[in-house]
C-alpha cells in the first residue's frame, strides 16, 4: 500500500508539472525548469553520502573500533540481502540515525553516540534494520525524484510570477491579459508550488512507513523497533541535535526538527504514535 501511495503521489507531481508547463505557455520553459531541477537534485543524489556525512562530522568505524555495532550491521545486511554498507558514528548526544548513499553498493548507515547510549541491543537492531530498509527500498532515489519534480514546479511558479508582473500592463482584449489573466497566473504560481511541497512531504512520510515495515521484517522484531521509536521520540526532544538542518531532516529515523499543527503537513515524518501502532499490529 505504501508503494502504491508513492506511485500515486509521484504521478500527481507529474500531472502538476505538466499543468504548470501548460500555464507557462509552452514546453520550453517546463523543460528548462525540469533540467535545472534534475541537475541540482541528482548532483546532490550522486554525492549524498559524502555531503551529509561530512555535514554531521560522522566518523567511519571498522570492526576493530566497535565490533558489537559493526557485527550487528553485518548481520542485518546479510538478512536483507544487501552488501555491507559503510558504518559511521556521529559525535552528537541526541539519539538518532540515518542511511544515505545512491544505491546499495554505495550505502552508508550512521548512528549518533546518543542512540548507542540509550537503546538496548534489540532496540538498536530494530533502528538499524529500519535504516537498511531505506537502502533496500532505494528511498534516496525516490526522494530525489520527488524533489526534482517539486523543484521544477517551484521554478516554473517563479517564472509565472515574473510573467504575470511583467504582463500586468497588457490590455483586457489581449489573449491571457487583463486582471483575470494576471490573477489566474499568480494563483497558479503560488498554489502549485505549495501543493508540490505537500505532495513531496507525503512521499517522504509514506517511505517512512514502508521502512518501518521492511525494517521490522529484516530484524524480525517489530516490537523492539516500536519500543525504540517511543524512546527516541522523548529523548530527541529532551536532547535536540546540536546542528539541525531542515534539508537533511528527512534522512533521520526521528525528525530532528520540532513542530505541530499546520507544520505537520510539511513534516517529512508521519506521526510517531501511528508508526508505533502499525509496528505493534505486526506482532
Is 67 in contact with 59 (CB distance < 8 Å)?
Answer: no
In sequence order, the β-bridge partners of residue 109 are 87, 99
Q: Is 261 helix (H, G, I), strand (E, B) or coil?
A: helix
CA atoms of 129 and 217, how far apart (whole Å): 9
- Could you tell me how far CA 91 lies from the centroid of its own chain? 22
In sequence order, the β-bridge partners of residue 99 are 109
Which DSSP helix (H) or strand (E) runs through 239?
Answer: none
How many C-beta atoms surround the C-beta of residue 111 within 10 A? Answer: 27
CA atoms of 127 and 130, how far apart (whole Å): 5
Is 99 in contact with 198 (CB distance < 8 Å)?
Answer: no
Of the residues 131, 175, 208, 217, which is catalytic? 131
How many CA atoms, within 13 angstroms, populate the side-chain half-sphere of residue 226?
17
Active site residue 131: yes
Helices 27-46 + 2-24 axis angle, to 10 = 140
Is 30 in contact with 152 (CB distance < 8 Å)?
Answer: yes
Residue 132 cell numbers, joined:
537498511
What is the residue-wise DSSP string for 76-108?
A: HHHHHT-PPPEEEEE--SS--EEEE-SSGGG-E
Catalytically active residues are 131
Amino acid at each position: 500500500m505504501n508503494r502504491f501511495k508513492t506511485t500515486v503521489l509521484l504521478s500527481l507531481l507529474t500531472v502538476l508539472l505538466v499543468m504548470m508547463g501548460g500555464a507557462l505557455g509552452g514546453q520550453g520553459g517546463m523543460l528548462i525548469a525540469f533540467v535545472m531541477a534534475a541537475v541540482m537534485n541528482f548532483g546532490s543524489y550522486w554525492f549524498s553520502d559524502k555531503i551529509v556525512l561530512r555535514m554531521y562530522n560522522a566518523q567511519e568505524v571498522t570492526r576493530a573500533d566497535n565490533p558489537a555495532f559493526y557485527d550487528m550491521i553485518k548481520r542485518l545486511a546479510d538478512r536483507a540481502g544487501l552488501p555491507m554498507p559503510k558504518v559511521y558514528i556521529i559525535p552528537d548526544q541526541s539519539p538518532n540515525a540515518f542511511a544515505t548513499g545512491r544505491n546499495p553498493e554505495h550505502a552508508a548507515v550512521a548512528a549518533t553516540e546518543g542512540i548507542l547510549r540509550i537503546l538496548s541491543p534489540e532496540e538498536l537492531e530494530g533502528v538499524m534494520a529500519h535504516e537498511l530498509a531505506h537502502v533496500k527500498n532505494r528511498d534516496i532515489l525516490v526522494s530525489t525524484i520527488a524533489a526534482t519534480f517539486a523543484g521544477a514546479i517551484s521554478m516554473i511558479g517563479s517564472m509565472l510570477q515574473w510573467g504575470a508582473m511583467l504582463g500586468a500592463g497588457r490590455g483586457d482584449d489581449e489573449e491571457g491579459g487583463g486582471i483575470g489573466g494576471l490573477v489566474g497566473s499568480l494563483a497558479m504560481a503560488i498554489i502549485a508550488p505549495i501543493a508540490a511541497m505537500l505532495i513531496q512531504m507525503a512521499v517522504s512520510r509514506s517511505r517512512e512507513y514502508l521502512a518501518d515495515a521492511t525494517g521490522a521484517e529484516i530484524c524480525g522484531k517489530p516490537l523492539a523497533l516500536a519500543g525504540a521509536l517511543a524512546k527516541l521520540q522523548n529523548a530527541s526532544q529532551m536532547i535536540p541535535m546540536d546542528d539541525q538542518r531542515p534539508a537533511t531532516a528527512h534522512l533521520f529515523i526521528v525528525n530532528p526538527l520540532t513542530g505541530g499543527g499546520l507544520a505537520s503537513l510539511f513534516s517529512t515524518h508521519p506521526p510517531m504514535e501511528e508508526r508505533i501502532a502499525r509496528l505493534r499490529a505486526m506482532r
